[in-house]
C-alpha cells in the first residue's frame, strides 16, 4: 500500500524474543498481520545486540564500554521511529511497542528506563509472557564472576567456529540471571505439595512443574504489571492463551500473528486466530481491543 507523509498512520514496533541470547526478526514475518488488517498501520521491527555483545555486565564493561547495549540498540530504533517514521506515513505520536518473552521484558525496561524518562518514544505497550528478570547491579558478585568467566573463555572466538563455536560463548549470557543453568537447584519441595497438589495434575510431576514455572516466571508477573496499570487508572487488558490443539507452551500464541501459512489451523483455531489478531491490531490502531468475531469478557 502506498503511503504519504500526511497519512499519520498508527505505528507498531515489535521486539523479538530469545532470552536476550538468540532469535532474529526474520523469524517473525509480518505478512500475516499486515495482510489481515482492517485498519492500516505501519509495522516496524529491529535487530539488537544479543548475549555477551548486548548484555554482558561487569565493571570492565561499565568503565570501557556501555552496559545493556542491546537495550540501547532498541532505544536507538525507537528514536529513529520518532525522527523518520512520518516519511513512511506513520505518526510518531501514535506508537505502540510490543514484545514477547524477552521482547516483553524489554517493553517493561523501556517503560521504567532512566526512572521513566524513556517516555515520549511510545504511548501504548503490549507484552506476551512478560517475565521479571533477575536485575543485579553490574558490579555485584554474580555479574563480576560472569564477566570473569567470559573473559577466560573469550580466546575461543579466535578458533574456527566448527571447533568450539560461538555457542560456547552464548551460554554465558545473562539469560534469566543464571550462568550454569544445569547446576542450579531451587528448594521448593516443602511448598510444592501445599500450593500445587500433585493430584491436581493427574500425578504428573511434569505438569506440576510446568504450572509452577509458568506462574513463577510469566503469569504472576503479567498479573502484577496489569494490576499496576489498572490501579494507575490506565486502560489495561489481559489475556490467557489455553489451546489444546496448538499447544499452550511458551510462545505458542505467536503462531496467531506470524504463521505465514506454516501451520494449518482447524476451524476453531481459525476463528481464534482471527479474534486474537483483531484484538491486538485494533488496540494498536484505536487503543481499544475489539474483534468482529469475539467479545472481551
**Domains detected in the chain:** 9-135+239-286 (3.40.50.1820)
Instruction: Report the alpha-carbon distance of residue 113 to residue 266 in Å, rounded.
Output: 42
| Average per-residue pLDDT for the chain | 84
Buried b (16+ CB within 10 A) or exposed e, 165-181: eeeebbbbbbbbeebee
Q: 32-90 pLDDT, tens per residue?
A: 888 778 899 999 999 999 999 999 999 999 999 999 999 999 999 999 999 999 999 99
Which of 54, 63, 2 shows the shortest CA–CA distance to 23? 54
The number of C-alpha atoms within 13 Å of 120 and in the hemisphere containing its C-beta is: 8
Residue in this structure with the C-alpha cell 498508527, named with its chain if needed:
10
- Sorting pLDDT into bands at 50, 70 and 90, what band is 1? low
Q: 144-155 pLDDT, tens per residue?
A: 999 998 888 876
Residue 94 has pLDDT above 90, yes or no: yes
Edge-to-edge strands, sheet with 90-100: 42-45, 9-15, 90-100, 124-128
CB 90 within 8 A of CB 11: yes
**Model pTM score:** 0.84
Q: 124-146 pLDDT, tens per residue?
A: 999 999 988 778 899 999 999 99
Residue in this structure with the C-alpha cell 514475518, named with its chain if needed:
29
Residue 297 has pLDDT above 50, yes or no: yes
- Sorting pLDDT into bands at 50, 70 and 90, what band is 169? very low
CB 97 within 8 A of CB 125: yes
Give residue 187's pLDDT.
Answer: 56
151 vs 175 pLDDT, higher one = 151
- Sorting pLDDT into bands at 50, 70 and 90, what band is 170? very low
Instruction: Report the alpha-carbon distance of residue 172 to residue 213 in Å, rounded.
Output: 22
Instruction: Report the alpha-carbon distance of residue 52 to residue 54 in Å, rounded.
Output: 6
Amino acid at each position: 500500500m502506498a503511503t504519504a507523509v500526511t497519512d499519520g498512520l498508527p505505528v507498531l514496533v515489535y521486539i523479538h524474543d530469545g532470552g536476550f541470547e538468540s532469535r532474529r526478526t526474520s523469524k517473525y514475518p509480518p505478512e500475516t498481520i499486515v495482510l489481515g488488517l482492517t485498519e492500516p498501520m505501519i509495522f516496524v521491527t529491529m535487530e539488537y545486540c544479543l548475549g555477551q555483545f548486548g548484555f554482558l555486565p561487569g565493571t570492565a564493561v561499565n568503565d570501557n564500554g556501555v552496559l545493556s547495549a542491546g537495550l540501547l540498540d532498541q532505544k536507538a530504533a525507537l528514536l529513529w521511529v520518532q525522527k523518520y517514521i512520518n516519511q513512511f506515513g506513520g505518526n510518531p505520536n501514535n506508537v505502540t511497542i510490543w514484545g514477547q518473552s524477552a521482547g516483553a521484558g524489554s517493553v517493561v525496561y523501556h517503560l521504567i528506563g532512566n526512572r521513566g524518562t524513556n517516555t515520549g518514544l511510545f504511548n501504548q505497550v503490549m507484552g506476551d509472557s512478560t517475565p521479571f528478570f533477575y536485575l543485579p547491579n553490574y558490579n555485584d558478585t554474580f555479574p563480576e564472576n560472569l564477566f570473569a568467566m567470559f573473559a577466560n573463555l573469550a580466546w575461543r572466538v579466535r578458533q574456527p567456529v566448527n571447533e568450539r563455536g560461538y555457542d560456547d560463548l552464548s551460554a554465558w549470557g545473562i539469560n534469566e540471571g543464571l550462568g550454569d543453568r544445569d547446576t542450579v537447584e531451587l528448594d521448593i519441595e516443602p511448598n510444592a505439595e501445599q500450593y500445587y497438589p500433585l493430584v491436581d495434575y493427574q500425578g504428573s510431576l511434569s505438569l506440576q512443574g510446568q504450572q509452577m514455572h509458568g506462574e513463577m516466571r510469566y503469569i504472576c508477573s503479567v498479573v502484577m504489571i496489569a494490576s499496576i496499570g489498572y490501579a494507575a487508572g490506565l486502560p489495561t487488558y489481559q489475556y490467557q492463551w489455553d489451546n489444546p490443539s496448538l499447544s499452550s507452551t511458551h510462545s505458542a500464541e505467536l503462531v496467531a500473528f506470524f504463521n505465514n501459512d506454516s501451520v494449518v489451523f482447524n476451524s476453531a483455531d481459525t476463528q481464534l486466530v482471527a479474534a486474537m489478531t483483531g484484538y491486538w491490531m485494533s488496540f494498536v490502531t484505536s487503543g481499544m481491543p475489539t474483534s468482529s468475531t469475539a467479545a472481551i469478557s
